[in-house]
Amino acid sequence: MAKWLDNAIFYEIYPQSFKDTNSDGIGDFNGIIEKLDYIKELGCNAIWLNPCFESPFGDAGYDVADYCKTAPRYGTNDDLKRLFDEVHKREMHILLDLVPGHTSVEHPWFKESMKPERNEFTDRYVWTSSIWEAPEGMGSLRGISDRDGSCAVNFFSNQPSLNYGFYKPELPWQQSMDDPGPKATVEALKDIMRFWLKMGCDGFRVDMAGSLVKHDEDGKGTTKLWQGIRAFLDEEFPDAAMVSEWSQPKNSLAGGFHMDFILFFGPDHPNNLFRSPEPFFASRGKGDISKFVEKYKADYEATARNGLICIPSGNHDVDRIARHLHGDELKFAFAFLLTMPGAPFIYYGDEIGMRYVEGLDSVEGGYNRTGSRSPMQWDDGVNAGFSCAGKEKLYIPLDESTDRPTVQNQMADSSSLYHEVKRLIALRQAHPALQSKGEIDFIYAEKNAYPFAYLRSAGNEKILVILNPSDRDTAFDCDYSLENELYAFGGKMSAAEGKITVPAQSYAFYQVS
């Protein structure tokens, strides 16, 4: 595994909404470069950049029209190369967002694939052999060209599915993983990765990494496919980091990924923590963390320490964390996120408590996700410091609340979420037990109960984490001493006769033996 992941803390940038430097209302590479020192000062040492390739933007760039050319709205390939260089000057790393499962309908590969005469790209996508036959269990495009067949799509109808084969082909048009078409697709994917790794990116976060081989059996085919990619990377780019959007660590890590995302729409119960009618970290104290812990423990053991599991604060696909948690509740969420194993990912603006902007029309395929993609709020200037464009030109409308959080006002308040996140990151980086590869043992995670307690350890260092976001005092059986307090928020915890008493809305970290 790339050594720098051991203490990596990622900052996710949705480039359209981060910082605009040419007054067109859309963020750009130069804006990211301008704000790199902010990211580093916060304590993040790595960046995940959402897709920045040429695209018709039917799905905010996840419909790629050219994998090896940046979208002009952000700048040129040279500008992106300069971003890589500036990141590295600050001893940081950057991952690009790789979309291997589908392209845009405007990609040259697809235009060639639509032609009725056979050519190099005929089998680059998943096509049935007849216009009257749709691929079972998948959406499809039909009647779009003179080619006789229906083309499978992933999600939106502007995203034709690339062909990596079927795990067990059953119909004449279903190709195996070893057929020439699927093998050519894999080689094309390697070429894309080579292009950007040679330019200086440090690896990839891979969109829908577990979905490539169709009708897969427990991920076996897709895992095998990624093992081949890993072998190629080990030979040519051994330090390239790979992060999967899969939410099945047993498969993804076996496939050669270094880290797997927990998905907010998957089976891992993260919404029980942050995004449910009664989130665990809400002060009402009506949440339940036990199902999340049960699933996490199973995944954690299944990884056999061969990689990392990541829990993001949020991302461009889900509600802002501040839509469900408010005030100091957000500090508890970050106290958890920044003391768990795996590299944390902070979605831009979550560190200042940016809100979900309600009631917006869909922008570039965002639909209900659009409210989580509003422009970064830097200061109290024009357009919150995001852009000097007229308001009507902004990529997505700003949060117009008079009390909207900004970097400027959060920096000026030592008790703000920004400063708490910064303190928690510094604490994590000062203690190997709290970093990516530190072990975890759950001490107290009972059904419908508070607090939540776990032990992190690395070498001889052991740190007890206790979190009680509820509005009532709680207690639990525990023999650890609280003499060596590393950090505390809220009331003073106490230990006596094998029981620890935890005041309402408090968390603390203790060095124990």
Is 504 in contact with 490 (CB distance < 8 Å)? yes
Q: Give yes or no for residue 304 having a pLDDT over 90.
A: no
Quick count: other Cβ atoms within 10 Å of Cβ 91? 9
Cα–Cα distance for residue pair 157/270, rounded to 1 Å: 29
Which SS3 state, helix, strand or coil, does residue 210 take?
Answer: helix
Going from the C-alpha of 40 to that of each of 18, 35, 375, 376, 402, the distances in angstroms are 15, 9, 20, 17, 28
Q: Give yes or no for residue 1 having a pLDDT over 80.
A: no
* Residue 512: its H or E element: strand 506-512
What pairs with residue 310 in β-bridges? Answer: 261
Model confidence at 88, in pLDDT bands (50, 70, 90)? very high
Cα–Cα distance for residue pair 292/300, rounded to 1 Å: 12
Phi, psi dihedrals of residue 367, rounded to the nearest 5° = 50, -125
Q: Give yes or no for residue 332 having a pLDDT over 90.
A: yes
Is 215 in contact with 167 (CB distance < 8 Å)? yes
> Residue 293: CA atoms inside 13 Å, Cβ hemisphere, count?
19
The predicted pLDDT at position 268 comes to: 66
Q: Give yes or no for residue 2 having a pLDDT over 90.
A: no
| Residues of the chain above pLDDT 90, percent | 95
Adjacency order of strands within the sheet including 485-489: 439-444, 452-458, 461-468, 506-512, 485-489
The predicted pLDDT at position 382 comes to: 98
- Give residue 83's Cα distance to chain centre: 20
Cα–Cα distance for residue pair 50/65, rounded to 1 Å: 15
Which SS3 state, helix, strand or coil, does residue 82 take?
Answer: helix
DSSP letter for each residue of 260-329: EEPPTTSSS-THHHHSSSS-TTSTT-----HHHHHHHHHHHHHTTTSSEEE-BS--TTS--GGGT--TTH
Sequence letter at residue 403: D
Residues 6+ apart with CB under 8 A from 269: 291, 292, 295
For strand 203-206 and strand 494-496, is the pairing parallel, antiparallel, or unpaired? unpaired
Adjacency order of strands within the sheet including 474-477: 474-477, 499-502, 494-496
The predicted pLDDT at position 267 comes to: 67
The predicted pLDDT at position 305 comes to: 81
- Judging by beta carbons within 10 Å of its beta carbon (0-12, 13-18, 19+), is residue 362 exposed, middle or buried? exposed
pLDDT in tens, 101-148: 999 999 999 999 999 999 999 999 999 999 999 999 999 999 999 999
Model confidence at 302, in pLDDT bands (50, 70, 90)? confident
The predicted pLDDT at position 269 comes to: 83
Q: Give yes or no for residue 98 having a pLDDT over 70.
A: yes
Helices (H) and strands (E) in the chain, counts: 12, 20
Sequence letter at residue 30: N
DSSP letter for each residue of 223-255: HHHHHHHHHHHHHH-TT-EEEES-S-HHHHHHT
Give the lowest-confidence range in 172-181, 186-195, 268-277, 436-445: 268-277
DSSP helix, strand, coil percent of the chain (3-state; round to 5): 30, 20, 50
Quick count: other Cβ atoms within 10 Å of Cβ 321? 30
Q: What are the tokens at 116?
A: 């009725």
| Residues of the chain above pLDDT 70, percent | 99
Mean pLDDT, residues 470-493: 97
pLDDT in tens, 71-80: 999 999 999 9
Q: What are the tokens at 318?
A: 């889900």
Q: Give yes or no for residue 399 having a pLDDT over 80.
A: yes
pLDDT in tens, 10-35: 999 999 999 999 999 999 999 999 99
| SS3 readout for 296-307 | HHHHHHHCCCCC
Residues 6+ apart with CB under 8 A from 325: 274, 279, 281, 282, 332, 333
pLDDT in tens, 354-397: 999 999 999 999 999 999 999 999 999 999 999 999 999 999 99
Sequence letter at residue 413: D
Quick count: other Cβ atoms within 10 Å of Cβ 319? 18
Sequence letter at residue 347: Y
- Computed over every residue of the chain, the mean pLDDT equals 96
Model confidence at 266, in pLDDT bands (50, 70, 90)? low
Model confidence at 426, in pLDDT bands (50, 70, 90)? very high
Q: Give yes or no for residue 43 having a pLDDT over 90.
A: yes
Going from the C-alpha of 460 to that of each of 177, 182, 433, the distances in angstroms are 47, 49, 9
